[in-house]
Amino acid sequence: MCDTLVALGGVTKDGSVVFAKNSDRSPNEPLITIRAPRKRHQKGSKLKCTYIEVDQAAETFEVLLLKPSWIWGAEMGCNEFGLNIGNEAVFTREKYGPEKLLGMDMLRIALERCRTSAEALETIVALLEQYGQGGNCGYDKKFTYHNSFLIADKTSAWVLETAGAYWAAEQVKDIRTISNRLSIGRTFDRAHPDLVRHAVERGWCRGEADFDFARCYSDPLFTRFSGSKERQSAGVCALEREKGRITAGTMRRILRSHEPQLEGKQFTRHSLKSVCMHGGFLFGDHTTGSYVATLNEKMCTYLITGSSTPCLALFKPYWMVKGETFSFTENAAGDAVAYWRKREMLHRLVLENRIPSLGLYLAERDRLENSFDAIITGLDPGAVNEGRLLAIMKDAAAAEEELIDRTISGAISQPGKIKGGLYYRYYWKKQTAGLEQPRPFK
């Protein structure tokens, strides 16, 4: 379960494209931040993805990936040209096939090979047609689905939604959100050539006049119980209210938002209807990582938690420059997992009510984020150098590390008790007991 949002330059405060995503997955599944360099590859070489091999490109671009530790692909990420993509699980009437490409694999391949949103759209469609999609995406339980994508560059964005081999695409006009549901209806800009004919043959519509992609191809039961309608609506409403003044801060607030009746109770109850998703239910997920990108021709700036639970986590500034130490190489996946787990320890201590003053922690987190925001706002993209950006990232990382260490050390010896219903308490006790039992790295 996830949510991805974009606002194009015509409706943002400074004319930048602003992109954001929460990754909602199993609570114990580390979402790690990996940076892979630009590479050249031998002609005829193959690329091993999560389950299958595909033909490798002659050259792959530098990418930053937020990815489950055991999967080759990524939930979200960017490349050296400012191309950003987020992936969503969607539930459809089409059969879920055998192991092929995951949506996360297609996302990573597109980031490695494309410069623009239009190129990425073409690439993902070509991968879908050549290799197909399928395979388990679950960390601690089997979980299969089809995929949708929100693809953005510095000037444009596309939504691509799939159902098995079939797909439809819509070019974004101003704001757009996607969640765990097909959302393209009667109108679209691109589509599989047999999209309507197949729906007619299956009896889902009578013909082109009454064709609606989401209505025809969605699995209504799984889509309904995913909570995606409520989450997508919350994102759309928030962006509509802020049209003309949307910033990275706007996206950060949305990624941290909960359904109204849960606000203030998010550490005692689960919810599938909150953008900031909290686990605690048999089929529920938890937000394991969050990401905001501000994209323009002068400079691309990112805010990344590197940890779960955005209503608790601290968003840190990031730029894809040489020498930064926020991200990890693929060879250092173990270190990346340790980084995520340390911050997850804080979340578990909050669940167990062992933080003496959560309000003081949140106030300090907000103070730090406000200071980062002020520094970013004061940067002159035409004059700033990489040394300055590295210093900002280093200071932000150190400030967060000190806050995390101080908060954990003050709580680790405190007695604790998870609050909430009987199953909620059982769920989180079981999750915490299994936190240190990772799946092998991919």
- C-alpha 121/C-alpha 37 separation (Å) is 22
Q: Under 8 Å CB-to-CB from 392, ≥6 apart: which residues?
A: 317, 372, 375, 376
The answer to whether the beta carbons of residues 185 and 213 sit under 8 Å apart is yes
Pick the catalytic residue: 2, 114, 216, 276?
A: 2
The answer to whether the beta carbons of residues 396 and 371 sit under 8 Å apart is no
- The sign of the dihedral angle between the CA atoms of 155, 88, 23, 247 is positive
Q: Where are the alpha helices (DSSP H) in 103-190?
A: 103-113, 117-131
Q: For 439, which DSSP code?
A: P
- C-alpha 325/C-alpha 436 separation (Å) is 24
- C-alpha 251/C-alpha 257 separation (Å) is 10
- C-alpha 421/C-alpha 396 separation (Å) is 37
- The sign of the dihedral angle between the CA atoms of 272, 275, 280, 286 is positive
311 among known catalytic residues = no
Closest by CA to 214, choosing from 148, 144, 165, is 148
- The sign of the dihedral angle between the CA atoms of 16, 293, 376, 238 is positive
Structure tokens at 320: 């894809």
Structure tokens at 257: 């938002």
Q: Which residues are catalytic?
A: 2
